[in-house]
Structure 1
Amino acid sequence: MAAKEKSDNEPDGITSVVPAPFLRAQVNETGKLATQTETTGSQDLSKLQVTDASSERSLSVGAAARKRRPVSPRPRPEAREDNSAQYCNALGIDHSLLNGRGVDFDHILTDLGWDGKLKDGKTADDLETDIRREIGRVQASSWLGHLESQEGQVNGLAQLFDRAIEEYTGRSVVYIEAQAEGLQVKVSNQKLLQAELQNLLKSPERD
């Protein structure tokens, strides 16, 4: 009886439509896949967010560490007292020759090996040789600079001459030649006129 009642309650295909079991299973599987995809996507997003936050935190920590890193100060040149006037007076030299550059002169002597005394293994002759060599180098460099400036001036004059020659070419040359020919004609006419006047003066006057 129970089986009969159950069969009576189920659709018979005539009075109502029987749903296909395959479609039901496909709909159920699609719902499960969508649920799994949403869950996986949310997990991936959470992982990405965590990774980005950690990387940003590491970058900020690295930047802060670089900012906090102490910077070693550059060594400043040692300030020296200008005692050139005292030394020059002791040697009987006019200290005005240094033009107030005694400290620079002291630095140059230090570079050449004199720091109040000669360095080990160096004699006064060696110091004099180094000084003369340095003076020669400075003079050579100054002469080279002077020659370069003179060469630049010569090149400028050469360009001016070339420009002047270009301006006098063509029509200018023709005009100058025409003026010269006109002057020659004028001179010859003056000579002829002078000769005629002399002939008239030599001829006897008519009564």
Structure 2
Amino acid sequence: MPGRDRRRAEPAGLYDRGAAGNERLPSEGGRGGGMKSFDVVIVGAGPAGMAAAAETSQAGLSTLVLDEQTRPGGQIYRDVEASDAARRRILGPDYDTGAELAAALRASNAEYVPGAVVWNIDGGKRIDYSAGGNSHSVSANSLVVATGAIERPTPMPGWTLPGVTSVGAVQILLKTSGIVMEDVVLVGSGPLLWLAATQLIAACRSCSRRRES
């Protein structure tokens, strides 16, 4: 898309969302210009999708990975390729392992299409998706749906007021921009809240050390 970072050097089979218009997406590469077929199509490039792609391509299966985000990682390892050492220390060692999965995906023979929105899958394993402002179609012998989970906050009085947000959004701000929300009150007792609390405490300590120095 216009305005995106220019395509950087990548192994064959990787497609950047901001690639030039003459780049051939998988759906344009079949025989006679027809629909291309893969042994495995993976929807989602989070932890499960990245691991699956590395395994299937290593087994010699033609693999296509479609993901809505601009970089691999999913929600758990969001923006892990762009995070620096300081942010990885704040987010913890488990987050850091996401970089290894992303590197394995990049080094594999899997074709990876970021910025791809899958909008239809039929009974014959035909996958229709949008990428680069156009619709594309591929077929698969096997399909792996690795779209992960979705946050479902509990509605309560006042939950739509300014300054009230979900813990997932708080994590996204921290992972993508290094933004730390101050004077935070976490409501709930799920595992994600405990993880976010630990990460926010670590981030605040890091901010305090920088201010003192």
Which bracket does the TM-score occupy, shorter chain normalised? under 0.3
| Higher RCO (Cα < 8 Å, 6 or more apart) | 2
* Larger Rg computed on CA atoms: 1
Scaled by the length of structure 1, what TM-score is found?
0.17
Scaled by the length of structure 2, what TM-score is found?
0.17
Q: Which has the higher helix share?
A: 1
